Each structure stands twice: as C-alpha cells, then as structure tokens.
Amino acid sequence: MNEGFIELDQATLCYARSETPAVVDISLSVPSGGCVALVGPSGCGKSSVLRLIAGLETVTGGEVRVGGVEAGSARGSVGVAFQKSTMLDWRTVLDNVLLPLEVVAGRAGFRVHRREYRERALALLERLGLGEYAHRYPWEMSGGMQQRASLCRALIHEPDLLLLDEPFAALDAFTREDLWGLVQSIWRERRPTTVLVTHDLREAVYLADTVYVFSKGPGRIVHREDIDLPRPRTVEGTFDPAFVEYVQRLRGHIVQVREADTDKAAVDKESAHV
C-alpha cells in the first residue's frame, strides 16, 4: 500500500507535566488530497493528534510523518483554523488574511507580489461573503464572519496541509452548514490534505472520506469508518438514509466509548471502598 501524505505509526504523546498520556498508539494514514475527521468525547486527545501533525508537539513514542518527513521538518505550507478565530484586532480583515503570505513569501517577496496577493485575498473574501468587510476590523464583525475570515486566512496560501480544529463549533446551525459547503467546494478544487477535529458527527460524515473514533483519554482509535458517499454532498443529502446510517453507526461507537468509561468509573469507585 502506498504511504499516505500523513502517517502516524503507534504515535504516543505525554505532555511534560502529566503522567497520563494524551494519546496512545495512534496509527492512521491520510492520502495526499484526502480528508479525514477525528471524533470522540472531550479530552480524548483529538486536538493533541492535530498538534502532532502540525509539528507543534513531538511524539513521546512512535512516529509521525508528513509529506514523507518527520512532522515539524521542512515541508509544504500548512493552513490552520481553530474554534476561536484568533484574528488580530489591530489588523483589518484583509491584512489578517494576507498574514500567511507575508510569512511564506518574506517581507521582500511580499512587497514584489503585493498587488497579486491582495487580489487573491479579495477574491477569496468575496467568495466567502466578506467582500464588503475587507477593510473593516475583526471586532466589527459577528463571530460567524470572523470564522469565515479565519478560513480565508487558512486557505489564502493554498496550503498542502489543512488542519481544522472544531472551526465551526461556536456557530449557529445555519452558518455552520453553509460553511460545510464552502469548505467542501474549496477542498474539491484545491485538494489540500485535510484533518478535521469535530464533535459533530453530521459534519464529519459530510466533509470526510474517513472518520476515526477515539476512546476516552488517554485517546486510542477504537473505530475507523470509510465514508462511501458521492460528492458533492449537500445539506439536503444529510437526511438521506445512507447518510443517516453512517451518523447512527458512528454515534453507536461513541455511546460504547461513554458506556465503557462509565463502567470503568463504577469499578474504580467500588474498588476504592473495598
């Protein structure tokens, strides 16, 4: 089997100040241009896996490779969007979106291509419904608009790797579903290798090729679900029996994880009284 663009081989992470690992023996593969989702209960280590892939943390055991090299080594560009927009209040929306290009191109290169980059950023903002807000500041926009701007910033430099850490969790249902469609559309055009962390099982099935279910922390992968649904997917399609079946099957695995944790807690409590 061909090696994926992202490869985790029995990856374990234990933070310096904790005796309990965040994740244990995580093995997964994401092909170039693929999209996977990580789901599971809060505190199961999904975001820790994202940090390993981004090179923000170093594995305690096992291996993490991205683009054929150790995570954190030189490779193609990375785009990241978080649950909180993390926009810089003192920069306009346009200047926030241009920030990755300033970093990637360097000061001199950015000056040379500034007009081209501005046009690219304005076109992307327009596509995500923010054209008229380009010269405003983040605090002048709603939370949903700020998330759209954050997505623009994550996509502006056409990254090889796109990491999405619950980017829609704080949004209302209609805005969230609207952004699913936009992300899917851009992903289909540019095909960045994408990893999505989410608690929303409908979101996972809508966007991903494969969904990994994590156990309660320390996180382990307890189930892999390949999503065999045609693209493009639509909000209306989330009510189709085939789509609903995927969601229900994933929910069943999440319930098993919760029940196992409840049983373990009960055993621990009983042992403490012996």
pLDDT of residue 197 exceeding 90? yes
Confidence of residue 76 (pLDDT cuts 50, 70, 90): low
25-66: per-residue pLDDT in tens?
A: 999 999 999 999 999 998 899 999 999 999 889 999 999 999
pLDDT of residue 266 exceeding 70? no
Q: Is residue 259 in some structural domain?
A: yes
pLDDT of residue 262: 59
Q: Is residue 141 in some structural domain?
A: no
Note the pTM of the prediction, 2 decimals: 0.87
pLDDT of residue 176: 87
Who wins on pLDDT, 39 or 1? 39
Confidence of residue 75 (pLDDT cuts 50, 70, 90): low
Q: Which amino acid is at 92?
A: T
Who wins on pLDDT, 64 or 16? 64
Half-sphere exposure of 274 (CA within 13 A, CB side): 6
pLDDT of residue 52: 94
pLDDT of residue 252 exceeding 60? yes
Q: Is residue 169 in some structural domain?
A: no
pLDDT of residue 43: 87
Query: What percent of the chain clears pLDDT 90, i.e. is strictly above it?
Result: 62
Q: Is residue 15 in some structural domain?
A: yes
Distance of CA 178 to the CA centre of its chain: 17
Non-local (6+) Cβ contacts of 179 within 8 A are 147, 148, 151, 167, 168, 171
133-155 average pLDDT score: 91
pLDDT of residue 272 exceeding 70? no
Question: How many domains are contained in the chain?
Answer: 1
Q: Is residue 167 in some structural domain?
A: no
CATH at 25: 3.40.50.300
254-262 average pLDDT score: 79
pLDDT of residue 111: 85
Range of 2's domain?
A: 1-74+195-274
| Tally of CB atoms within 10 A around 163 | 25
253-264 average pLDDT score: 76
Contact indicator for 46, 214 with CB cutoff of 8 Å: yes
pLDDT of residue 265: 46
109-136 average pLDDT score: 92
Q: Is residue 14 in some structural domain?
A: yes
pLDDT of residue 2: 53
235-259 average pLDDT score: 94
pLDDT of residue 264 exceeding 70? no
134-160 average pLDDT score: 90
Average pLDDT, the chain: 89
pLDDT of residue 219 exceeding 90? yes
pLDDT of residue 110 exceeding 90? no
Q: Is residue 222 in some structural domain?
A: yes
pLDDT of residue 125 exceeding 70? yes
Q: Is residue 18 in some structural domain?
A: yes
